Every structure is written in C-alpha cells, then in structure tokens.
Structure 1
Amino acid sequence: MKKIYISLVLACNLLAVGRTIAQDLWPAVTKEMRPWTRWWWLGSAVDRPNLERELTLFDKSGFGGVEVTPIYGAKGFESSYLNFLSPQWMNMLGVATDKANALGMGVDINLGTGWPFGGPQIKEKDAATKLILDEFELKKGERITFPLKPKDPKQHYFFLQALQAFRSDNSEINLDDYISKTTGTWEAPADIRLLAVFSGRTGQKVKRAAPGGAGYTLDHLGQQSVLSYFNRFTEAFKDKPLHVRAFFNDSYEVYGANWTDEFLQSFERIKGYRLQDHLLDFAGKGKNEAKTAGLKSDYREVVNALLAQNFLIPFTDFAHRYRAISKNQAHGSPGNLIDLYADTDIAECETFGSSSFDLPGLRRDTADIRNVDPDPMMAKFATSATNVYGKKYTSSETFTWLTEHFKTSLSQTKPEVEQLFLAGVNHVFYHGTTYSPKNVPFPGWLFYASVNFVPQNSFWEHLTGLNQYITRVQSILQSSRADNELLVYWPIYDIWNNAKGVDKALKVHDVDEWLHPTQFYKQSVQLQKRGYSFDFATDKILEGTTVNGGKLQTSKDAIPYRAIYIPACHYFSEVTLQKILEMANQGATVIFQQLPKEVPGYSQLEKRRTLFNKLIASLGFEKDKANQYTAFGKGKIYLTTDINSALETEQILPERINQTGLKFSRRVAGKDTYYYLVNHSGQTVDRHIALNVQAKYYSLLDPQTGRTYQLPSSDGKIRVQIPSGYSWIVLASEQQASEPFRYQDELHQVAQLDRDWKVNFIAGGPVLPKAKKLDQLSSWTEWGDKDAVNFSGTANYEKTFSIHKDLSKSYLLKLGRVAESARVYINGKDAGVLWSIPFQQDITPLLVNGENKIRIEVANLMANRICYLDRKKVTWRNYHEINFVNINYKDFDASKWAPMESGLIGPVTIWSY
C-alpha cells in the first residue's frame, strides 16, 4: 500500500498550499545539503569553457559541489596536460572556484594527486618508511662488517637504528656503540644471533598520479616529512585566497609503512622505555608470547599517536591557514579509527561494492558480490567521531564499485545511500564524475573504478530524482543532531595486544577479519536490532567525558548519553577503568557484558596491573556469577550478559519501530524530533506504532516528493504505511503540516495500460532506432531491431486512455518494471521522475474525467551501447596508467555481454483509493 505521491516539481508548480507547507517544514537548502561528487581531472587537461560547462550541468542536475582530484591522463591529449600546482593549474582551479561560487556550489580539493599523499617534493628521506628487523646468525669467530646493510637488496636508503647480539642462552651482548659505525668489523665471541633494526623505505609511489604529482609516497608518521610535503602547497598557494571549502585526504593506503626515522625516540618519550632493549621478544624470538603481545601493543599505540600528532593535526592546521577545513578517510590506517576520524574537521567513510536487499525487482548481479558487503556498522566509526564531539558533518565516498561499469541503475543507489543515512552519514560524495571535454566522443573520459555520474550517462536527465531525494534527507540530517542514548566502548586493545604481525591496518575490505568476530560488533548489531541508538566511544573520548545529572557528556556540543556499555573484551586500560568508575561515582550508568581480564601493553606493566586489579576488586562482584549489579557512588554498575534487562531496568527503552521491519534513525533539532524511517523489507509496512518521543503533532515529510502531510495520532500511536523501497521522515513537533495524509485503503485497479503504445527514440545512440507501435509492452532489446539492441538513451512512450474520475478518490500510477528510470507527463504536465522502486506516483491532480494523454520518457543504461562499441572494436578506453579495468581489476571488455533489458516493461496500471 502506498501514500499520495506528488513530485516536488508538481507541488511547487501546481499547489500553492503545498509550496507554503514545504517551506515551513523543510529546512532552507544549503550547498552542503545537496550531493557532491568527486571530480577527476584526467591529466588536469582542463580548460575554462569545459570547466564552466560541466559545473553548469552539475548545478542544473542538483549537485552542491565538487571534489577535485587530479589523476593520470587520456592518451593523445598530452599537449593539454597541466602540471599539478603549476601557475596554469592554479589558474584553472581559480576558474572552477569562481564558477562554482557564482552558481552557489562549493569546491573541495584533494591535497595531492591520485592517492595516497606524495609527489615530486618527497625525496627518499621523507618517503614512506618501514621497519626492517633482520636476523643474522654468526658462528664463533665470524665477523660482520660496517656499515651493516639490510638483507633486502632493494633497500638502498636506510638507517641502522638498533643492534643486539644474543648468545644461545639468550643472554645479550650490548652493541649500541656499533650502531653508528661506518667502518670496521665486529667478531662474534660465541655462536651468536644478531638482531638489527633498520629504518628502511617502502618504495611506494603515488597511485594514479597526475602530471606534476608523481613521486614517492609521504612518510605520514614523520614530523619533518609532513612539513616538507605541505611546503610545496605553501609555495604554490602563496597565501592567496583559494575559495576552496575543504582539503581532502583519501583512505590510508600506505602499504607497509609502519615506521619513521625518529620512531625509537618517540617510542621512548611516549612509553617510557627503550623498545630496542627488547628486540628478541619484539621480534617474537623469545619465549614469552605475552611480552611480545604487550610490546606490539605499545608499538601500535605509538604508531597511532604519531599518525595523529605528526600528520592529521598538522593537516587540519594547514587547512585552517587557508580558511578551509580538513576532510579525512581514516579507514585503512594502522590506528584507532574513531580517534583518527575525529582529528579532522569532517570524518569521511566509504562504501565499496554492493549490498543485499530484499526489495522486489532490485537487480544484483553475482559478479557484483564481493567477500564482504558494505557494512553500515563500519560507517558508524566515522559518524560516532562526529557525534561525540558535536560536529556537523560526516561525509562518505559513496557507490565505489557499486556494480560493474555501465550497469548501475539509479534504483540500485537508493538503498545503498539509505544505509549510510541510517548510520548517521549526512554529506554524500558520489564516486564519481570524470571531467571530459565536450568534443570527446561517447562515452567521454571515464575513471576506472566509479559509477559514472557523467552527462554522457543515459540516466543523466533523471539523476535529478536521486539528487533531490538526497538533498531532502540531508537537509534534515544536517539541520539536526543524532539522538543516540548509548555509548558503546570499542576495545581497541584487543586488536593491538596481539603477538602476530607488526602494524594493524584496519581496512573496510577486511571487516570480516578484524570486526565481525568480536563481541563489540555482535552486541552492537543486537542493540540495533532491538531498537537502540548508540555511538562508539574510545579511551580518548571517555577521558574527556563528564557526568551531568547522571548523563554522559562527551563534549559541550554533543547530545548527552544515558549509559555506557562495555562489550566483552580481554584487555582494558587501567586509566580508562579508573575514569569509568569515577563517572559511575558521579552518577553514570555503566554496563559490563563481562569484566575485562588484564591491562594491555608492557610499559610499567606490574604497576598498572596492580592498579587494574584493585579497581576490579573495588566493584565487589562475585567471581563467575552472571547478572550482578552494584550501586557505585551516585551511579550504578551492571555486570550482565542481558543488556536489554539492564537497560529496561534503567528505563532506557528501545524504539519499537524495528519490530515492524522498518529501519530508523532519530534526530533532534531544538524541541523537534525527526524519525527517518526506511523500508528495506520485501513488503509494505502498514502498522500503528508508538514512538518513544511523544509530541502534540506528527507530520510526514516525504523525501521522495517533497510533500508534507498531517499524520493523525491516537493513544500516542501513528499509522505508518510505507511501501517496500520507500522512506518517510516523521516530525514530532509543536507544529504540523496543514494537508491531511490519505492512507491507501480500498485500493482498486481502474485501468491497465499495457497495449497500444507509440514509441519513438529521442536521445542517445549509436543511432536512434525507428519508431514503433507496441501491442504489448516489452524490452526494446526484444523487438528484433538491432539498432534498438545496441541503443542506450531515452525513448518516448505515448498513449491515450479514458477514465471516469471520481472526485472523492485519489489515483495512483504504477509503472511496474522500468529499465531503468522514467519521467512521466500526464496531459502535458510533469508528474515527476520515477527513478527507484516502487516506480509509482500519485497523479490525482493531473487526471481529467474522460480522455487523458500519458507520455513517459524512459532511459536505459549505458551498457548496451558500450557492448556495441567493444564488438566493433571502437577505441574508447585509451588512458595512461591503469587504463580501464572491470570490477575484478581485469582488462575491461563488454563485447560478449548479453543485452540488458531496456525500456518500459510494465504492467502499467492506474489504481484508485
């Protein structure tokens, strides 16, 4: 069953009352509320006319801004390449920012080319650095010669930083005096195992670099190396106004970089002992695995600290010097992701690949399925960093490799982006759009890893539907704050205090290894299913948390939390435990699933272990007894595997929305509360539900259409009627929309429009197929017309029909199967873009009694035309570097693809209610 559907365009043009209502309840739109897109400049071969033309097209389609990323170029256009940061390049950046500002759009820039940060200014001394821990075995009387070199012959820029010799009984011979020697030898007095620590180089260079951007990857952990990187930008920018909103850093893909030349000194300063004094155990060559794990934990904690202190905080400071903000993707970093997300102004997460949804008719090809689906819980690492510090935006690199090239429909993007919204993301960046000169033939310049949100895409004219939907949802999400009642502690030390490996890079592609098996993840999933809302907390976040009236205040701008939950974990900081008990003493509610067992790390281990045990003992819990509780000062501490009972005892109640099959996110703005409700189930949800937030009035803000309606309530309940694939925003407030919502009761089919359609092709290629009259709707690839099989673009479907219009009824148009998006006109008036499941629209104001005309502009995808080009061996993918690959990173070839279903399939029906 479905509610009244009327597009925002229709509401604005036809219904003055609707326009006034929308202005009252929908926030005023800013550029950040619209979707943005990553804008790849291939070879930076850009010019003023094409920059201004593309920005104008972006603005018309509903984009709020672009994120400029220069990358490798197209072959044959080398003479047009501009070197990154050259005066000519800076001039073109100025053209882009001037035009964007004139259009009310924004511009962000990648503070580099390709990824990760690096370039010609990075010499080997400042390049990504790695720990080399070599072992040499010497017989008695054998000698080593200085300078000592690593075993890896590829290492030619390195420093010997530690050297230790061990006899067969593991007793040590101190060789500190030999570390700096550049000549001479040392003779083994007995059979010796020699361990040497070198500071080496990974040799990694910038991936997908643009002209002027090639070079070594930056050492992100080194203070001087980071400063040397930024110096190039200081020289290029020359302290002139840039009119750039943000500087951006892509995901941390610095492979094998786990060291810096000053690491040992930094380690001693932070941890209070010399790591080089414990090389045997650090290398895993000793007999104490627990000590090895503790040393590795301290090492990883120092890596985390250096990444924040030497890179992310200076990166943010650098952005502020130019009146810009910083934006960072922390995932993939060898550190505490939540804290690293929080070290810049905007935390940015990423979706990679496609998800599984139960929506009827939603296509998902087996080739698009990866080892692990995008996990909304992973997005909460970034949104938590935003929420606990009271920041405004969490952004997302969105739709990366959603499907194979040219096969992504707009309907497939909707549930994917809705998962991000539900997780708290509110500033979407498409991945993405490639700059392409107007004179480049179809399909224009394209990037190898993206959904191609480009004007050459056959869905471009219908992209406004997706863009308007995202704008409306983000207008609410950005005008409000997450109303989450719980903090859930993330036990990072269970990852760090492990004897295996060296650094621990936490990647979105590996969540099935480092995240999914944990109780932290399993308990978070169960809490969400139960109907609770929460953010994740780290040791650093808890360190700055205060208690006020029994609630946890993580920062002055954050909404307070009602309790903190610590899922089962083995390792726990005694400092954090002391802080938690202090908060409980001040009135906080704390819930442990299990008590942690021991402290992590090796530094001052016995002293910290003693304090930890003392704090645990102070709780007075009985050993091996489940479900215990104690009053602790003004607060309460639970030890229980039944968190639901503990929370309900504290009158912290879940929302009952999830029991209906809907997903939700709750937001607050002043005295108003918003519920974003999404139906990803396979059927309509038609239920009466009681929201936890009771209000005088309830209103529906429909993000698909922009219309607003009154929702009646009775006994504190409202009726929701949300079709599969649809979403609502419910406002609980002192104000209310004026137009009543009409539920779709007594739905009856009054017309079936499957026959007698006239079809003509109006835009696309390689050629426009001939017009056709259809006795029955079907895919145009099945008409026996080879031009139609090869065609990608838009076809115009027209017919007339008669209907007896009952003025007491409303009328709903259902298009059935659409391949892949449509714009509907009734009697010459625009009824809106139908771009996603369930492909239906209320057309009541547009129908007349008697004869009516319907016209539907249907666009398919680019796939069939690309298939034609590859069969004809037309050269269209001709790029430097990676050129163009498929979803499995193999050479792209569409020549053997079967034609994709295209056009209006139906059945097309009209229903009264």
Structure 2
Amino acid sequence: MLRKTILACCITALALPASAQTKWPAVTQQTHPWTRWWWMGSAVDEKNISASLQQYNKVGFGGVEVVPIYGAKGYESRYIKYLSPQWMKMLDHTVQQSNALNMGVYISVGTGWPIGGSNVTIQDAASKLIVQQYDLKANTPLAEKITVTDPKQKGFAALSALMGYKKNGTTIDLTNKVDASGTLQYNTADDLKLYAVFTGKTRQAVKRAAPGGEGYTIDHFSKAATVDYFKIFDTAFGNSSHGVKAFFNDSYEVYNADWTPDFFTEFQKRRGYDLRPYINLFVSDAGNDTVARLKSDYRETLADLMRENFSTVFTQWTNKRNTLSVNQAHGSPGNLLDLYSAFDIPETETFGSSYFPIKGLKRDSGDIRNVDPDPNMLKFASSAAHAYGKPLTSCETFTWLTEHFKTAWSQCKPEVDQVFLSGINHVFYHGTTYSPADVKWPGWLFYASVNFVPDNSLWPHVKGLNEYITRCQSVLQAGEPDNEMLIYWPVYDVWHNAKGMDMPLKVHDVDKWLHPTNFYKNVVGLQNAGYSLDFASDKMLEHAIVQNGLVSIVAKGAKHKVLLVPACDKMPVATLKNIIRLAKAGAMVILEQFPKDVPGFNDPEKGKQELNALMAEIRNGKIITGDVTNSLNALKIPPEPMAAKQLKFIRRKTADGTYYFIVNNTANDIDEKITLQTTAATILRMDPLNGNMNLLPEEKNANTTTVRLQLKSGQSIILKCSNKTEPAPVYKYAVPAGEAISLQNNKWTLSFAAGGPQLPATKQITGLQPWTSFTEDSTTQSFSGTGVYTTTFTIKNKAADYLLQLDKLYESARVIINGRDAGLIWSLPYELNVGGLLKEGSNTISIEVCNLMANRIRDMDRKGEVWRNYHEINFVNINYKDFDAGKWKVQPSGLDGAVQLMPLK
C-alpha cells in the first residue's frame, strides 16, 4: 500500500505544472508579526514616522501598537501632549502611512501602564480598603474621632461603615451615628469593639507615563470611573476610531486596589447577604474556614465588578467606533478566563527565558531573569478566544528574553514556538522604540525590551524571523482550534484562602495559585501524554452547549470531544448542574473526583445538601468518574503518539482537513515514523522556514495516518492532513551521499560590510575563527555589524543536493553562493539546502554574519560615552539595576568550528 501511495504522489507531482501546486494559506496584515511601538515623550514627527514605518514594512512587520511613554532628556522641546490636536495629527499620519504600506495600527488607551491619566479624578481613582479598630467603653463617649489616621489618606478616605460588636456576638450598625466631624454620637451600656471601614485611595499613578498622560490609575471596579475615563478619548476621537484597528490595555499591575466605594451594596446584591456584620471576621488573622469563605465571596465579587464595570464597558466603547478591544487580563483579581473573554482579542505575555535542551542553543544564566515562562499560563487567553470563536489571541512576546543587546534571533524561535503551541496566533514583539534619524547610535531604546530596531546589528536578518512567524500564523489563524478536551478550572479552590485580600492572579505567582492544583497536574500530564485541551470557567459552562456529542461554549466556538472536571474541593451547585445538563445532552464527561463542598459563606450547609443530591444523581447517570487516563481509554479518545517522543504540537481544523504544527525542542534529532490521529487523502509537509511545500508518503489506517518525519533538534514543521488530493512535489528525505566537503581549513577572506564604531581592516585567514579572536586589533573587539567570510572550493562530481552546515554561528548569516542569494541562517540547526546554486568545478561562497550589539555597547560604556539618558526609570539591566556593559566580556562574533557541505542523495 505504501509503495502505491509513493508512486501515485510522484506521478501527480510530475504531471502538474508549478502554477497548479498547493499554496500556503493567504498572508494578510494580521498574519505578519506586529510590534509594540514606544513613542518616547511622544516626540514624533511625520518625516520620521514615515521613514520608520517603511523600515518596519521592509522587514516584514504587519503593524505597530503605539504606546506613548516617558521621554529622552534633552528633547523636551519635541514632546507632544498626549491626545492633543498635534498628537492626534501624528496618529492620523501614522494610520495614513500604515494603510499605504498595508500595515495596521493598534493604540494603547493611555500612556505607560496601568490604565489611568490626567483626567482621572480622585473619586475615580483606584480604591483600597482601610479598617481601623476602636474600643467603646460602656457609658463612656468615644473620645477619638472616627477619621482615617494614615496622613497619606487625609482628605481622600471616606467612611463606608462603622460596625460595633458586643462580647456576645451581637452586631450594631453605627455608620449613621458618626457626624461630619467624625465624632461618634452614641452611648451604650455594653463594651463594644468598633470596626471603622474606610474607602481609601491607593494614589497609584500611571507608570512610565508620557507627557499629558500622568495621573491616577482608575478604579477598575467602578463603571462610572471607566465611563469617565473614556470621556477624554471621546473628545479626541469623537465617534470615529481614526483608522485605529484596536485599542489596547496593558497588564493590570494595580497595587493594593482591593475595594470600591459601593462595594457593600454590590456584594449584597450578588452574594445574597450583607458583608458589614462580618467585617470583624473578614479582616481578622484567623486562618479558618469561615474567613476563607468570606474571602472567597469577596474575591468573586471583585471578579464580577471588574468584568462588568471595566472589561465590558471597555469593549462596548471600542465596538461603538467599529474597532476592537485588546486586553491583558493576567494579574487581575478575577477569573482570568472570564476577563479575557470580555475582549475581542485576549492578549497574554511571555516574560523571561524558557529552558530548551536544543543542541547548540545558548542560554547564559547571567543574561536571563530567574523566571521561566509557563506556557499553560498563556492558555488562559487562548482558551477564552477559542471558547467564544474569537479568531485572534495575541501575546506580548520576548519581554526580558535576555539581557539587553544579547538576544539572537535563534533564541527567539523556540520561545515563539512555545507561544504558538499555547494557542497564540497574533504575536507582538516587545518591542520597537521610535527613534528620530538625528539621534546617534544606538538611538532611543526602551528599558525592558529585546531591541527590534533598525540600529540593531542583527536587523538585516530579522526578516528571517518575521517570515517564519508569518508563515506559521497564516496556518494558525486558519480554520478553528482542534483541541479534543475541555478542562474545567476550579477557581473557587484558589479563592478559598483565608490569607490576603484581592488575590491578583499574576504571571510571576503561578507557583502559588496554579502549580499546586490538581487542575495544573492534569493539564501538564495530559499534554505530555499527547492530548490537547482548552480551559473552561464556571461562567463558560453556564453557556455551554452540546452539538453532535461535542461540547462548545457557544455555537461558533471550539468543539471538544470530552469535558474533564479535575479533582477539586469547592464547586458551586450551579456548576455541577451545568455539568450534568451537558452529560444528559450527550456530552462525554469525566469527573475525576466528586467535589467535597460548595464555596462561599451564605448557607453552605444548604448548598452542600444540594451538591450531595446532585452527586447521587451522577452515580446513576452518564458521567464517568475516577482515573482520567482510564476514563479516556474507556471513552476511546486516544492521544497523539508523537508526544511519547517529546514532540509538541497544536492542531487547527479547516474545511479541507487538519493542520499539525509540530516542534522538536528536544536535544534529539527525529527520523522515524509517527502516527497522526486523523485520516488524510494527502499529507503535505510545509516548512515555515522557507515556505517549501512537499507531499509526504503516507500509510493509511482506519482512523490514523502514519508518516516518516525528519525533524532535527530545534526544528519545527507544519503537516497539512488534507481530505482531498493536493498537488505538490514529493518530499526528498535527507540521506547523505558520501563524505562532507569541509571548508573549515580553507583560505578565507574576512571583510566588513557595515556597522560600527568603525570597520575593521580586511583579513586573510587560513581556518575559520571569529573576528573577535583577533585581539591585537582593537576594532574587532568593539565592532557590531556585518562581517563577510568568503572562500572558493571545487566540486568534482556534483550530488543531487547539498546541505550547508555551520557549527558555531555568532549570530546569524546570509549565504551567497556563486553570486546568488541562498538564504538566511538564523535559527538552529544552523544549516541550509544550497545544492541548486552549486556547480561542478570552482564555486565561491560568502557568509555574511551579523553579530550582537553587545560589543559596541560595551565599548561605549568603557569609554564613558553617554547614550542612555531618559526620564523616569532611565535604562536598567535585566535585574532592574543601573545598566553598565563596561564589565562585560567581549561576545564572540562571526564563524567558528566546522563549516561543511553535506552531499545528499
């Protein structure tokens, strides 16, 4: 059968012209990577905006996300006030120029972060809970004033409640007994413990604000505050979006904002009881179940308020202008799934550097933060998008990937692959700083970014990374997600905690609120076993439906074969009812363990009785309970076998079939058969590095397809399992055809094409070595730019193809063979098929290598040159200390080790 399939593929490929061959999904503005574009001091002008956008477009960016921030010192005369008529003119010019280049523009709703600004009044500013205690003695007036004692809160804090507690537990509301001066007009025959509840203000200001954007952070729990905030945009934008495709809000990062003025009213409306009589318990240090239940209800209320009063209002405001909302929900004190869901484009972020055992991948512990991004944190955003059929999930990518000026594009690839595997399909670089042409090298730079800027010495090769991402995203934006499992996230187990207050769910705290849970253990274990999944909240299950046995949150949302409910302690009665409803409608449901209790303080005994009654119903129903793996086997839902080889994957389903994006971020090269859990008439091998599409021979089984896969350490591939016959050339498996041609010990000319501070002299060398090995030439130690290695060699009997392999590349290269461009080498493994450009006889190869910015920056700092001079945070290193590259070692630059041409059959 296999032999017949191979023969048929060969005949099909040979019989059809190239114009009839299958093509990649369409490349659009959205499939390109975008970049966050910082406007320092909003010191922008039309000429430099136009020039910058043209540079970004040329290397493959699809759009910019404008974020005004603090400015560079000495350029204050160029600053433009945020949202002023002049600022809007610059924005309009940006949109006009972007449209001409088929690029898009997003814009942040504010400057810096978190959301706030000059128009935020103290009434609308972020609020905090302040509780003071007093002792009221029997028959003795209270001498102290019921006023806030914190001097920073004088004139800001307002009394929300005064509750008195007798020794027998009786509660008295004394709020109306306090006069305007703060005097308590009340006498009692009993001793009372008084608790005064004030609504204070955090007084947090916008971080990294641009001119005109300074001011308080808003109260995210107040609808009035959100509506008021957007009034300044109403004035500037009117009823139009001015061509802006989306309005963006950065990560929450609001500190100590755990209250809002009408919280007591909103709490009682939602939770069914008055919190005020229990304030003494609520603020106590007692770590008991009662306090945890009160805190759970409090956190759920904050979550409701943030979703309804901020997230929903934000999206409504943008949609009225026929544009989209983008939000980073992580770090918020709420159910992240529901908060992400309230926006048109949920956005997550990566922060720090992940460990990958890829052969040759550099990862210097001194150049990375002690933070490993967790790909499952990213899935909260993509799950929300998948659930509601939102086509895009975006990600702020590469934040603090390495120390400044030390990030190679080869380090970006595995990180962005991990982002893709998490369901992200709309990548934003972090990022690019606007810099006028008259600012000398290295231009204006943002303190926390990988510098995707034209002044970066690696800029000539960033197009390779951009084209790779574009091809990947053209597939990952096609069709719909194809994850077989929906897994319930038991947020009430997280909220049921007597410690703390608002509990923001931060990226950096996953070891506290995510990693210890059964939910997380299931997620990791199932993915490692070969299952793909999305997360679901209680609110999502409330809306969920069953169609043809598949579970989806809404009709247009992702469809799943099974709903998994991991072992959890607390579950609302309504949630369990919805789970049973879905099972009765035909959904396959696995309940790992019966929930033990209901969350919350309001009559938990009654809730537990209802829960127990429902669980009795489950024992006689269709829901499978017990071990997850055994249950999946019983339901005949198999995993993808490739996971056993530690290959990672994500699937997308289209009308034509299924796409597999497969990544080998292990230390091992793969060359063996893998089985795919799908059927196909045609398997296409799509290489996102170069755009090649080829037919793969296949073995067809009843419900699966087997193909041979060659995938080296660090490589990724896309397989299209098409349900129709599609024409393409047959893939040629790489098989060595003899000894490699070694170029390592050739005579080479090393010249320097571009860069600074000055070009080193041309060198004739025998045997490859980095240009930084010439320590006697000081110009090689400070040079950042492009060095060109050129040599000639002879081929006697030309093979069918040749694979150029570079051992040590610092950091990326363009290869020119016999005067023709062979392509870029920027990712691991450092190799390139070049046989089509070689000939029998004499050949010339030039390898144009770009190195890091680090050596030139090091030289500037050693000489004391001033290049970082900004307001606010100025410029810091990866540990947020003053930046100084003067003590760095010279970074190796150029080529080293073996360079060879491997002949292939």
Superposed displacement of residue 617, structure 1: 2.3
1:748 partner SS? coil
Matched, 1:278 2:268: no
Cα distance in 2 for residues equivalent to 1:608 and 1:530: 36
Superposed displacement of residue 371, structure 1: 4.2
Matched, 1:234 2:225: no
Report if the CA contact (8 A) 1:162-1:179 is conserved.
Answer: no
Matched, 1:803 2:795: yes
Matched, 1:886 2:862: no
Superposed displacement of residue 368, structure 1: 4.0
The within-5 A match list for 1:56-75 is 56-75=54-73
Report if the CA contact (8 A) 1:781-1:901 is conserved.
Answer: yes
The residue that corresponds to 1:266 in the other structure is: 266
Identify if the C-alpha distance between structure 1 residues 132 and 611 changes in structure 2 by more than 3 Å, giving closer, same or farther: same
Cα distance in 2 for residues equivalent to 1:16 and 1:161: 81
Cα distance in 1 for residues equivalent to 2:67 and 2:237: 17
**Cα deviation digits, residues 682-709 of structure 1 (max 9, x gap):** 1211111121111111110100110111
Give the one of 701, 719, 726 matched to 2:708.
719
Report if the CA contact (8 A) 1:146-1:181 is conserved.
Answer: no
2:852 partner SS? coil
Cα distance in 1 for residues equivalent to 2:757 and 2:371: 37
**Cα deviation digits, residues 847-890 of structure 1 (max 9, x gap):** 01110110111000000000000000000000000000000000
The within-5 A match list for 1:61-460 is 61-140=59-138, 143-144=141-142, 148-156=146-154, 157-179=156-178, 181-182=180-181, 184-185=183-184, 186-187=186-187, 189-284=189-284, 289-460=288-459
Report if the CA contact (8 A) 2:16-2:727 is conserved.
Answer: no
Matched, 1:907 2:898: yes
Report if the CA contact (8 A) 2:484-2:561 is conserved.
Answer: yes
Identify if the C-alpha distance between structure 1 residues 747 and 229 changes in structure 2 by more than 3 Å, giving closer, same or farther: farther
Cα distance in 2 for residues equivalent to 1:67 and 1:282: 42
Identify if the C-alpha distance between structure 1 residues 747 and 303 changes in structure 2 by more than 3 Å, giving closer, same or farther: farther
Report if the CA contact (8 A) 1:284-1:499 is conserved.
Answer: no
Superposed displacement of residue 826, structure 1: 0.7
Matched, 1:600 2:592: no
Matched, 1:743 2:729: no
The residue type equivalent to 1:798 in the other structure is T
Report if the CA contact (8 A) 1:353-1:368 is conserved.
Answer: no
The residue type equivalent to 1:753 in the other structure is L
Identify if the C-alpha distance between structure 1 residues 140 and 245 changes in structure 2 by more than 3 Å, giving closer, same or farther: same
Matched, 1:53 2:51: yes
The residue type equivalent to 1:862 in the other structure is M
Identify if the C-alpha distance between structure 1 residues 63 and 870 changes in structure 2 by more than 3 Å, giving closer, same or farther: same
Cα distance in 1 for residues equivalent to 2:228 and 2:565: 42
Cα distance in 2 for residues equivalent to 1:753 and 1:698: 37
Once the two structures are aligned, what percentage of the paired residues are identical? 49
Superposed displacement of residue 21, structure 1: 6.4
The within-5 A match list for 1:782-821 is 782-784=773-775, 785-806=777-798, 809-821=800-812
Superposed displacement of residue 187, structure 1: 4.7
Superposed displacement of residue 746, structure 1: 3.2
**Cα deviation digits, residues 178-227 of structure 1 (max 9, x gap):** 25644543456444321111111001000000000000111111111111
5+ long unaligned stretches in structure 2: 1-13
2:493 partner SS? helix
The residue that corresponds to 2:815 in the other structure is: 824
Report if the CA contact (8 A) 1:699-1:732 is conserved.
Answer: yes
The residue that corresponds to 2:694 in the other structure is: 709
Report if the CA contact (8 A) 2:804-2:902 is conserved.
Answer: yes
Superposed displacement of residue 545, structure 1: 0.7
1:392 partner SS? coil
Give the one of 762, 770, 774 matched to 1:779.
770
5+ long unaligned stretches in structure 1: 1-14, 621-629
**Cα deviation digits, residues 234-293 of structure 1 (max 9, x gap):** 01112345000000000011111111111111111112211112112212367x922211
With normalisation by structure 1, the TM-score equals: 0.94
Cα distance in 1 for residues equivalent to 2:818 and 2:425: 37
1:824 partner SS? strand
The residue type equivalent to 1:678 in the other structure is V
Superposed displacement of residue 895, structure 1: 0.4
Identify if the C-alpha distance between structure 1 residues 331 and 654 changes in structure 2 by more than 3 Å, giving closer, same or farther: same
The residue type equivalent to 1:36 in the other structure is W
Report if the CA contact (8 A) 1:678-1:725 is conserved.
Answer: yes
Matched, 1:672 2:651: no
Matched, 1:845 2:836: yes
**Cα deviation digits, residues 126-158 of structure 1 (max 9, x gap):** 101111122223444554368621232211211
Report if the CA contact (8 A) 2:146-2:183 is conserved.
Answer: no
2:402 partner SS? coil
The residue that corresponds to 1:568 in the other structure is: 567
Cα distance in 1 for residues equivalent to 2:36 and 2:343: 19
**Cα deviation digits, residues 766-824 of structure 1 (max 9, x gap):** 111111111121121111211001110001111111112435x2111111110000000
The residue type equivalent to 1:837 in the other structure is L
**Cα deviation digits, residues 369-416 of structure 1 (max 9, x gap):** 444410111111111001111110000000000000000000000000
Matched, 1:686 2:671: yes
Cα distance in 1 for residues equivalent to 2:415 and 2:749: 35
Identify if the C-alpha distance between structure 1 residues 188 and 773 changes in structure 2 by more than 3 Å, giving closer, same or farther: farther
Cα distance in 2 for residues equivalent to 1:195 and 1:482: 52
Cα distance in 2 for residues equivalent to 1:664 and 1:285: 46
With normalisation by structure 2, the TM-score equals: 0.95
The within-5 A match list for 1:549-560 is 549-560=548-559
The residue that corresponds to 1:654 in the other structure is: 639
Identify if the C-alpha distance between structure 1 residues 32 and 147 changes in structure 2 by more than 3 Å, giving closer, same or farther: farther
Identify if the C-alpha distance between structure 1 residues 853 and 867 changes in structure 2 by more than 3 Å, giving closer, same or farther: same
1:612 partner SS? helix
**Cα deviation digits, residues 520-540 of structure 1 (max 9, x gap):** 001110000110111001101
Which deviates more from structure 2 when the two are superposed, residues 772-781 or residues 385-394?
772-781
Give the one of 30, 33, 41 matched to 1:43.
41
Identify if the C-alpha distance between structure 1 residues 700 and 146 changes in structure 2 by more than 3 Å, giving closer, same or farther: same
Cα distance in 1 for residues equivalent to 2:409 and 2:370: 24
Superposed displacement of residue 19, structure 1: 6.8
CA RMSD of aligned residues (A): 1.7
1:595 partner SS? coil
Which deviates more from structure 2 when the two are superposed, residues 166-175 or residues 496-505?
166-175
Superposed displacement of residue 175, structure 1: 1.2
**Cα deviation digits, residues 506-556 of structure 1 (max 9, x gap):** 000111111111110011100001101110011011000112232212111
Report if the CA contact (8 A) 1:751-1:910 is conserved.
Answer: yes
Give the one of 747, 750, 754 matched to 1:763.
754
Cα distance in 1 for residues equivalent to 2:35 and 2:498: 42
The residue type equivalent to 1:672 in the other structure is G
